[in-house]
Amino acid sequence: MRYLILSDIHANLDALEAVLQAAAASYDRVVVLGDLVGYGPEPNEVIDRVRALDPVAIIRGNHDKVAAGIEDSEGFNAIAQRAASWTLGRLTPQNRDYLVSLPAGPLSLDPLAEICHGAPFDEDAYIFSELDALRALRLSRRQVCLFGHTHFPVVFRLSDTGFDVLTERGESELEVPLEKGVKYLINPGAVGQPRDGDPRAAYGLLDEERRRMKLFRAQYPLEAAQAKVIRAGLPPALAERLAAGR
Ligand code: ZN
C-alpha cells in the first residue's frame, strides 16, 4: 500500500489541490493527520474535498476541535482565535458533524505505522525538542509514527546505536529508507501553512511494501490563496505568513 500523508491543510484548498495533482498516481490511499481547517479561507471546500478522497485513516487536530465546538479557543493567540470564530460561523452543519466525528490520535494505520496530530502521548503536544521526540519514539507502538501540528517537516530516527534528525533543507524531496531495527518519527510538514521558511506545500508518501518514506514540496498558486484570505475578511497576517512560509 502506498499512502499519501497530508497534515495541517488549514482550509487552504489551493495548496491541497496542488499536492493532489503533484502526488497523483503515486499513492493508493490518503491519510490525514489533522487540522483540516483553521487559519484558511475555504474550510467547507477543504472538508468536502477530503471527504471525497475517502481517507483510509484520519484524525482530528486542535483547530478541528475548536471549529467543531469540542473545545474553546482559549489557548489560541488573537489571530488564530479570530480565524477560529470565522470558521465556526461558516461551517455547514454536515461538515461540523464530520469534524466532531474525527477520532483523536494516536491511531494505528497498519502493522508498520501509526498516526497522531501532536504526539503519541498527547494529541495537542508540540514535538520540537529532541527530548520530546525521544519520548514519542519510545512510546510509539509502531516502527513508524507520523505526526503533524508543528508544520515543520522533520525525521527523527532511533536505533540501539543512535538517535539523529533529518530535515529537507530547501530540497524538493527527502527519501528515507525504513531500515530494520530503527524507529522513525516523521512529520511530513504542513500542506496549507508551512512554517519552515519554505512557502511550498509539504506532504509525504509512505510506501509500506518498499519500506520507504518520502517528503515532498509542491508549488501552489500562492497569490490566489492570499487573495481569498483577504476577501474572506480574515486577518491579513494570515495571508502574509503564507508567502513567508512562517
Ligand atoms: Zn496545524
pLDDT along the chain (246 residues), means of 10: 98 98 97 98 98 98 95 91 94 97 98 98 96 97 98 96 87 92 98 96 98 97 98 97 96
Would you state the pLDDT for residue 171? 79
**Ligand 1 (single-atom ion) residues, CB below 5 Å:** 8, 35
* Ranges assigned E (strand) in the chain: 2-6, 29-32, 57-58, 107-108, 113-115, 144-146, 154-158, 163-166, 173-177, 183-187, 201-207, 212-218
Domain boundaries, the chain: 2-244
Cα–ligand 1 centroid distance for 123 (angstroms): 12
Cα–ligand 1 centroid distance for 222 (angstroms): 18
Cα–ligand 1 centroid distance for 137 (angstroms): 21
Q: Do 193 and 149 touch, CB atoms closer than 8 A? A: no
Q: Which long-range contacts (CB under 8 A, 24 or more apart) does 103-107 make?
A: 103/59, 103/60, 104/59, 104/60, 105/33, 105/34, 105/59, 105/60, 106/140, 106/141, 106/145, 107/57, 107/59
CATH architecture entry for 2-244? 4-Layer Sandwich (3.60)
Summary count for the chain: helices (H), strands (E): 8, 12
Three cell numbers at 97? 458533524
Cα–ligand 1 centroid distance for 150 (angstroms): 7
Lookup result for grid cell 480565524? 83
Would you state the pLDDT for residue 206? 98
> What is the pTM (predicted TM-score) of this model?
0.97
Cα–ligand 1 centroid distance for 196 (angstroms): 13
Would you state the pLDDT for residue 168? 76
